[in-house]
Structure 1
Amino acid sequence: MTATTVEISARESEVLALLGEHLSNAEIGARLFISVRTVESHVSSLLRKVDAPDRRALAQRAAELTRVDRTHPAPVLPTPLTSFVGRSRERAELTEMIKAHRQVTALGPGGVGKTRLALGVAADAAGEFADGVWFVDLVPVTDPGAGAVAGAIAAALGLGEQPGRGMDESVFAALADRHALLVLDNCEHVRDGVAPFLERLLATCPRLTVLTTSRARLMVPFERVYQVPPMSLAGDGESDAVALFLDRVAELRWPPDAVLREHIATVCERLDGVALAIELAAARWPTLGLDGLTAGLSDQLRMLSGGPRADDRHRSVRAALDWSHALLDPADQALLRRMSVFVAPFTVEAAAEVAGAERGVVADGLARLAEQSLLAVTASGSTTEYRALETIRQYGAERLAEAGELDDVRLRHLRWCLAKTAELAVVRPDWRARFDATADDVRAALAWVADRPEQRTDAYRLARSFAELSFTRTYAGESQLRYEQAAALADDPADAAAALRLAAAVAGCRMRGDDMYRLHRTAADAARRAGDTAGAACDLATAATNAHRFWSKFEHLPTYDETVVLVTQARDLAGDDPAAQAAVALAEAGVLADAFGAAQGPADNAVEDTTARTHRAVELAARTGDPLAESAALDALTGAQSWAGDAFAAAATARRRVALLSSLSDTPAATHELLDALGMATEAALGAGDLPAARRWGRRLAEHPLLAEVGHRATSWLLVTDALAGDVDGVLAVGDRFLEAWQRAGSPARSVLGPAVAAVAMIHGLRDDHAARRDWNAVLRQLGTPPEHTYGYGAVFDALGLLHEGQPDLALRRTAPEPADVWKWVTWIWHHWYVALRAEAAVLAGQPDAADRLAAARTAVAGNPVAAAIVARAQALHDDDRERLLATAAEFDAAGCRYQSARTLVLAGGDHATRGAAAVAELGLAPMVPAPHPPRR
């Protein structure tokens, strides 16, 4: 047998070397501080391994066998029952630490994975320690004294008792000159014995390194701490937590579908990445499934339990926490359970207020809980914050209820939340961060207090305050929810009505017309209970008006008869209150006049009636002194002016609204009016051909932070503006945002989005990108083709594309209806564009009546810089007036319409056409196709 085939442990090598010196078993035991029986056992093992006939032959072969390289003996480590997953960064960091420092503590809460990490690191580093690696589990040690700790280490090293020598001395002697790594696992419950023992051990054994795992620091000067983090939660592909879950599920031969990885990542995140919790959750997967696991996260202590295990502490998350809790003194146990009410990180000051204790006492207690890894601590600048993992919070909440302290502590937490929201009423540069740091605790306080009648007043105050703050933070959905919650909690029906009106305004900002309508009607009921008949009249009239003003925000638009009933009820309740009278007048101008006009068709008296009612509404609103009432009335006036065909008056009125509202504070109602005013100003500017103003208003609307959840609505008119101007880059960039937001919102079939989608489809047509055009046309089909598409924006964008492609005959056919026949669908934005493009198509197609169309168009579009330039260009083409034709290029440039400027040069021919073609290409468009026949003159 050769030396290289003999597998001899480090201890056996020591015994063999002393056999070679011809020492007796007793002498060997004395030299190695082990019992004679242990020596006999090693000798028997060696005789068997080397196949020696007797002790003498073994001694003779000692020299040969001890030449075997013993610099890297096999580490004495337990064999894990499951695979080690992930932790590559942590393994590398901790390995480097034990190379640089002689005593390192892997610190973390129960179940985070300290032991598995330490075992992995010990195995990785075994080659660095010539005399071996030993692992000692201190869980069985119940006596915290140093002697019991020494006994556990001695047992792991195979040391027996020596007469006249304590176990600690035996350990010191055995490791005195060893270059070895000693892993002491689970030190937290015996750290009073571990700390002094390690101090002596490291002083006596200069080549020894000790890696300890603990839930609490040893608190000795030579200790270096490595905080073991939870399993990483970053993205599916890099998440150690997800990898661990999938690994354990795979071992159960019940692997989840790959499409569920994102949901698994959410489960792991709710479990804070704690390895034990993830493993226990994976064990429940076959019986609970994803939905059961997700539901069970609200009670993790019940769900995260397993079958019998060798280590009872890891049989369930509750058992792991029971172990940690038992190590605390009563004062710290009380502090831990009281801190369970905090959802977000908290400061010492917050903890003292909620715990009902002195700040200094609480500071010391929090530090001890952090030392025990029951709280995570984060220090930034002059602020130190603490946080409990979710499982620890749930455990503390149970203990809080068991102690009979739940209501008292929750009430102190509620009052702390009220104080914090009062502080947040003052907006400072760090306001957003302070709100975010408080929001989760406020939500938790509201969830607790909502069903406690004795705390309704505080609950109402907190919900109302949080609604206002959420709106400022642009959390519109939560703001509406909290206003509605405040209304439900209000003792005074007048307070309820006020909260419901605010909720309705927020719903309007969110484009939720049905909610807006419902909330105003509910506010009217509350106002009636409060005896405020004028307020009820305003609410009913506003509900009816909104069904007319904001019809595109509704999923289920109220019937005409229903809104007429509301107007009638409002009129009966209004009395002589100026605000109520103004609200009723506005409802009559909207609901009644619009219904009359729709029934009668394009009769002059419909326009006259609408205009008369609207002017009365504006007059009454102005008397109230309320800019919001005046803005709503001016909105009706804008519509009436458009209805009358006065695009420029409509644009001026829309600008007046924006100016009126811009100086107001950002309340929900003011913001709702401003957002609507910006949209109307954009549309009115487009109708008047003022593209720079349309772009300015459109960008202001698109960039409003409150519209993040309805980005498709916010950006729609900016897309139309950029398309008409020929800003291809703008259309492509904003188009992606629009489409993403629309899909995120569930791809709603809103016809109001039609102009934006048609505009993008037209631009892709001009780019000759047929695939993209088909995609956007498919979206357009989802939105439907109402008359506005057939005769209004659809005709305009189709005509623009057909003229670019050199098909004026088709463009003429697309705009065949006389403007007077389709005026309802082309009025407002599209009238001037329709008339101008129709005239140009007639000229390029050589229509006999082109001159008459030009004359009519010139009158219709007078004052519109873009439409007037299109008509002037068509007239120049008709008259073959090259100088006048080229002059229109400068007019288009001045109007902010680069595409039409480039198109003019192409139509001019010759060298101008070359420059025009280059300008068209620079815009990112396909070349224009000349008209197939020359114009008739």
Structure 2
Amino acid sequence: MVATIPVARRIHIRGDHGLRHGLDDTDTDTEERTVTVEVSTREAEVLALLGEHLGNAEIAARLFISVRTVESHVSSLLRKLGASDRRVLARYAARAGDAEPGHRRPPLPAPLTSFVGRERERSTLADMIGRHRQVTAVGPGGVGKTRLALAVASDAPHPDGVWFVDLVSTTDPDMVAATVAGALGIGEQPGAGLDESLVSAVTDRHALLVLDNCEQVRDGAARLIERLLAGCPRLTVLATSRARLMVPFERVYPVPPLSLEGAGASDAVALFMDRAAAGGWPPNHALRDRIAEFCERLDGMALAIELAAARWPSLGLDGLDAGLSDPLRMLAGGSRADDRHRSVRAALDWSHALLEPDDRALLRRVSVFVGPFTAVEAAEVTASEPGITAEGLARLAEQSLLTVTASPRGTEYRALETIRRYGVERLGEAGETADVRAAHLRWCLATTERLVAGPPDRGGFDAVADEFRTALSWAADRPDLRPDAHRLATDLATLAFARNLLGESQQRHEQAAVLADDPAAAAAILRRAAAVAGCRMNGEDMYRLHRAAADAAGRAGDLPGAATDLATAATTLYRFDTKFARTPPQEEAEALITRAREIAGDDPAAVAAVALAEAGRTLVEAFGAGDSSESVVSATIRRAERAVALAGVTGDPLAESAALDTLTVTRSWAGDPLATVEIARRRLSLLETAPDGPATTHELIDALGTSMAAALGAGDLPNALRWARRLAEHPLLAEVGHRATSWSLVAEALAGGVDEVVTDGARFLDSWRRSGSPARAGLGPPVAAVAMVHGLRGDDDARREWRAMLERLDDSPWQTHGYGAVFDGISLLHHGRADEALARMRPEPEEVRSRIMWIWFHWYVALRVEAAVAAGSVDAGRLVAEARGIVAGNPVATALVERADALLSGDRPRVAATAAAFEAAGCTYQAARSLVLAGGDDAARGAAALADLGLVPMKTV
């Protein structure tokens, strides 16, 4: 594609290397010129999102690509546009003339007709949104709330622009957040609901959010607005609704009908004249007074006036008067309509009466669509020929009863909500509701089946998701349609998971389980729901849903299945304790295991599940007691290995993966990091054969994290980085920058990737703040890693900022004696403060072994030895000898101990030789440090290498 970018006068063209643009913000003598630059479609999407000031991780999440792919596109754009940095690219994006927006904020709908009058209302509403953070434009249907809101929003002076979200097709108050997320291209973050994910995504945006048509989901809209206002201090919300939302800080603006005072100054008359003229027959100005009387009979309602004006060319004023008189008298004060709707209903009744019978039938039948639809889709639901349906839709559009838009799916039609609701009423009066809604349900089922079977289609799902939700809401309450409702809920659960709408996926799975006639089927669905809850980082729901699955299996007479579910619920408490806000008491888990053992029989899957739960319980008990005696360690390992063996018999890769996870933790706790790495690799390989689905996704994310940790603990930095990056690029984590980059920050810091740590650290901090600055101990290691790197760079202000974060996040033994001691030790040794480093790691390894996470044990042992040698400790020789046996097989820790021994003996060539070992292990920083410690010419090379990394010079004792 071609991106057209206006630039200042100064343009430099250098040979065949393309355009180089110089922008001088201080140059006042400039003129707008246009330079056309060839960029790919994806580059244009990335450029547009850079204009929204998004980071690479956020862009990757929006476009469903990897962070590294984004980085490649950014580099290409810098080169093609001759930009010096991302800020310049953002300015280019703001100037881009026709670059495709990709997943940018939803643009304001482009009105097909001019906006007439309303100057006073426009000024008043604009002033209100300038002074108040939440304004609701209130009025009856057809008064013109949406057009007024769009007119005001188009002039809104918000730096980050305007987001427009139409809630007209949303019928479930609980789905408001999903609709807004779909419009803004935002997915749900693991460990957070969709409300929290929206807050996280827009928290620092200075923007205007327009929520249109809130009345049918008022409670859901009110809840979401309150959350957004509380978490997004620079966001303003303009809502349109038929009733106020009753949220804090709401300011209500009642939208009046069009002004009727005097034919010459009447907005109502001006609107009628404008719309009637568009039909090719401008009214004679001599009729203005009569037209004013006609508009007054319509109460100045914009929709009614537009419908009437559309018939002006064929009926004239006398015909309009005749067609309108009877419905108005019939509905005046009638029980079917209140004062707010009377005039619009009159106009609709009149317009409806002018239609041919076939067109009336088509209008009421397509009213079951809550969103846009094509002629083919309408034909399927109305059981008519596509050609005949298309002709009928065109006639309805000509009479302003349907709007027409072009879309990637083709020509789409949509009824304005007031008209759609009118059609629904007519459908009921005709006695056709059940048949047409059943046809709509069948179309939804066919569509979901196609989407589930095909490749991921985010846009395709978003376009029709509200149709599925509406059809399911209708069918779920009808006993004769329970099988269809069950199928639709199941498909919707699958599609929502693929769309990263994890909260809705879990909800639909649970709904499908309720709708299932077979309790065995319900049990299977509840197990999938539990896996989705795991992806959401919700331990309580995982636990609850596995227990619910056990109950369903029991009702089905499947005792082995119930045993498996009960044992899995207990295992959840052991494997995923960090996903619980409050873990159930140990006695409850014991009872689950006991009951599972009683009913398991000799079923392989049940026996394996019980064995895994018992292995997890044994490990937790041993770790909690701090008992690492040989007998306890051996017994714990045997239980874990037995669980793996029994899981292997089942032929279920997910069961075997879960057992291998427990064995991984057991081996690491036992002090065998090398075996841990091999088990972790085996687990990842096993999961490659597992079927797609929430359970596999949950296991894979957990396995990647465990594998990365295992590699780090064993000194395998290349694989640690590889798995950390793979984890960061997973679609479920890509939108959560602080979680996605956590382990890669740790690995990069230890390897010496200074630039990567600084860059990703900024992304981490931004994402953490967007998410409400959660105080989670699991975020301590990356924070400590970034603090260390800033200390090595000599940026004391940044180091203090990150240290303050660390103190807030984690004061556990892991921080005190584990990763905190490791990162502090590296920093102190770099700055020549060996005595302080030794004091920081004073406790003997065996003293802290049961109190620190196993990842850090070898690092702690090796760095403690180096600190002892550098500080001249009398115990240095003994510590070196003891450490060799402990860290054997760990390339980085072994090289650290070897270097300490060489320094102790004064063997400088041996010290220099360790640089090659560090390089081979992927530890650039330690390689440079070896050269500096070796002295002589090596020291100069080492100092240069440290400078290339961006670090301050080392201080040696």
Distance in 2 (CA, whole Å) between partners of 1:913 and 1:261 is 49
C-alpha distance in structure 2 between counterparts of 1:562 and 1:283, whole Å: 48
Cα offset, 1:807, TM superposition: 0.8
Matched, 1:427 2:454: yes
Describe the shift of the 1:740–1:360 C-alpha distance in structure 2 as closer, same or farther (beyond 3 A): same
CA distance in 1, matches of 2:802, 2:865: 28
SS of match in other structure, 2:872 = coil
Contact in 2 for aligned 1:233/1:268 (Cα 8 Å)? no
Distance 1:405 1:769 in 2: 73
Distance 1:596 1:569 in 2: 23
1:320-355 per-residue CA deviation (whole Å, 9 max, x = no partner) reads: 575366335144343333323323321111111222
* Aligned with residue 512 of structure 1, among 538, 542, 556: 538
Please tell me whether the aligned partners of residues 843 and 850 of structure 1 are also in contact (alpha carbons under 8 angstroms). yes
- Aligned letter for 1:364? E
SS across alignment from 1:479: helix
Give the Å deviation of 1:912. Answer: 2.9
1:368 matched residue in structure 2: 395
With normalisation by structure 2, the TM-score equals 0.67
Residue in 1 that maps onto 2:904: 878
1:327 matched to 2:351? The reply is yes
Unpaired runs of 5+ in structure 2?
A: 1-109, 121-146, 165-202, 217-236, 262-294, 304-340
Task: Identify which of 685, 688, 710 aligns with 1:662.
Answer: 688
The counterpart of 1:356, out of the listed 377, 383, 387, is 383
Q: Cα–Cα, structure 1 residues 918 and 304, in superposed 2: closer, same or farther, change >3 Å? A: same
Aligned residues of 1:819 and 1:826 also touching (Cα < 8 A): no
Pairing partner for 2:857 from 799, 822, 831 = 831
Q: Per the alignment, in what secondary structure is the counterpart of residue 829 of structure 1?
A: helix
User: What is the match of residue 87 of structure 2?
Assistant: none
Aligned to 1:498: 524
Q: 1:536 to 1:683 in 2, by over 3 A?
A: same
CA distance in structure 2 between the aligned counterparts of 1:827 and 1:228, rounded to whole angstroms: 60
Q: Give CA-to-partner distance per residue, 1:488-547, whole Å, 9 cap, x none.
A: 222221111111100111111221111111111111111111111111111111111111
Q: After the TM superposition, which residues 346-425 of structure 1 pair with which residues of structure 2 at under 5 Å, given as runs?
A: 346-379=373-406, 383-425=410-452
Alignment of 1:898-937 (within 5 A): 898-931=924-957
Contact 1:589–1:614, Cα closer than 8 Å, also in 2? yes
Tell me, yes or no, if structure 1 residue 265 matches structure 2 residue 209. Answer: yes
- Distance in 2 separating the partners of 1:382 and 1:286: 32
SS of residue in 2 equivalent to 1:386:
strand
Opposite residue 731 of structure 2, the aligned amino acid is P
1:659, 1:435 → 2: CA distance? Answer: 32
Shift of the alpha carbon at 1:759? 1.4
Alpha-carbon distance in structure 2 between the residues aligned to 1:761 and 1:228: 51
Check conservation: 1:283, 1:306, Cα contact below 8 A. no
How far apart, in 2, do the equivalents of 1:240 and 1:841 lie?
57
Q: 2:268 corresponds to which residue?
A: none
1:803–1:551 CA distance, 2 compared to 1 (3 A): same
TM-score (norm 1): 0.68
| Partner-residue secondary structure (3-state), 1:425 | helix
Indicate the SS of the match to 1:825: coil
**8 Å Cα contact 2:212/2:241 also seen in 1:** no
What CA distance in whole angstroms lies between the structure 1 residues aligned with 2:387 and 2:567?
59
**What is the distance in 2 between the residues matched to 1:354 and 1:270?**
27
1:768 to 794, 797, 804: 794
Of the candidates 740, 757, 775, which is equivalent to residue 749 of structure 1? Answer: 775
Matches within 5 A, 1:663-742: 663-708=689-734, 710-742=736-768
Alignment pair present for 1:647 and 2:677:
no
Distance in 2, Cα, partners of 1:305 & 1:399: 28
- Distance in 2 (CA, whole Å) between partners of 1:322 and 1:814 is 82
Q: 1:305 to 1:443 in 2, by over 3 A?
A: farther
Deviation track 1:389-415 (CA, whole Å, cap 9, x = no partner) reads 445444444444454443332222111
Structure 1: 5+ residue stretches without partners: 1-106, 120-226, 243-258, 273-280, 298-302, 932-937
Structure 1 window deviating more from structure 2 (312-321 vs 406-415): it is 312-321
Summarize deviations over 1:39-69 as a string: whole Å, max 9, x none.
xxxxxxxxxxxxxxxxxxxxxxxxxxxxxxx
* Structure 2 Cα separation of the partners of residues 625 and 644 of structure 1: 28
- The amino acid that maps onto 2:116 is T
* Separation (CA, whole Å) in 2 of partners of 1:886 and 1:687: 25
Q: How far off its partner does 1:568 sit?
A: 0.9
Equivalent position of 1:478 in the other structure: 504
Query: Which residue pairs with 2:247 in the alignment?
Result: 291
Contact between 1:231 and 1:240, CA under 8 Å: does it hold in 2?
A: no
Task: Give the direction of change, closer, same or farther, for the CA distance of 1:236–1:230 in structure 2 (3 Å limit).
Answer: closer
The alpha-carbon distance between structure 1 residues 481 and 865, as it changes in their structure 2 partners (threshold 3 A), is same
- 1:735 deviation in Å? 2.5
Distance 2:384 2:464 in 1: 21
> Corresponding residue for 1:531?
557
8 A Cα contact 1:618 1:633, kept in partner: yes
Residues 604 and 305 of structure 1, relative CA distance in 2, 3 Å threshold: farther
Kindly tell me: are residues 283 and 668 of structure 1, through their superposed partners in 2, closer, same or farther at Cα, counting changes over 3 Å? closer
2:923 matches 1:897:
yes
Distance in 2 between the 1:726 and 1:810 partners?
Answer: 22
Secondary structure of 1:863 counterpart? coil
> C-alpha separation between the residues in 1 aligned to 2:408 and 2:833?
69
- Counterpart CA distance in 2 for 1:785 and 1:498 is 41
Specify which of 809, 834, 848 is matched with residue 808 of structure 1. 834
Verify the 8 A CA contact 2:213 2:240 in the aligned structure 1: no
User: CA shift at 1:426, angstroms?
Assistant: 2.4
Q: What is the rounded CA distance, in whole Å, between the counterparts of 2:400 and 2:790 in structure 1?
A: 59
Distance 2:665 2:450 in 1: 43
Give yes or no for the alignment of 1:237 onto 2:261.
no
Give the letter aligned to residue 602 of structure 1: S
User: Is residue 301 of structure 2 the alignment partner of residue 315 of structure 1?
Assistant: yes
- Measured in 2, the distance between the counterparts of 1:912 and 1:331 equals 91
Q: In the superposition, relative to structure 1, how do residues 589 and 865 fare at CA in structure 2: closer, same or farther (>3 Å)?
A: same
Given the superposition, is the C-alpha separation of residues 282 and 848 from structure 1 closer, same or farther in structure 2, using an over 3 Å criterion? closer
Alignment correspondent of 2:8: none
Inter-CA distance 793–441: structure 2 relative to 1 (3 Å threshold): same
Q: Cα distance 1:718–1:325, how it changes in 2: closer, same or farther (>3 A)?
A: farther
In structure 2, how many angstroms separate the alpha carbons of the residues matched to 1:745 and 1:334? 50
Q: Does 1:556 align with 2:582?
A: yes
* SS of 1:377 mapped into structure 2: strand
In the alignment, the residues of structure 2 paired with residue 397 and residue 264 of structure 1 have an alpha-carbon distance, to the nearest angstrom, of 33
SS of 1:925's partner is coil
- Paired residue type of 2:826: L
Match of 1:624 among 645, 650, 653: 650
Q: Which has the higher contact order (CA 8 A, sep 6+)?
A: 2
**Superposed displacement of residue 458, structure 1:** 1.0
Q: How many pairs are equivalent?
A: 688
What is residue 116 of structure 2 aligned with on the other side? 115
Counterpart amino acid of residue 427 in structure 1: G
Structure 1 residues 493 and 108: alpha-carbon distance in aligned structure 2, compared to 1, 3 A threshold: same
CA distance in 1, matches of 2:795, 2:238: 49
Tell me the amino acid that sits aligned with residue 837 of structure 1: L
Matched, 1:342 2:374: no
Residue 847 of structure 2 corresponds to residue 798 of structure 1: no
Distance 1:378 1:872, change over 3 A: same
Aligned AA for 1:370? A
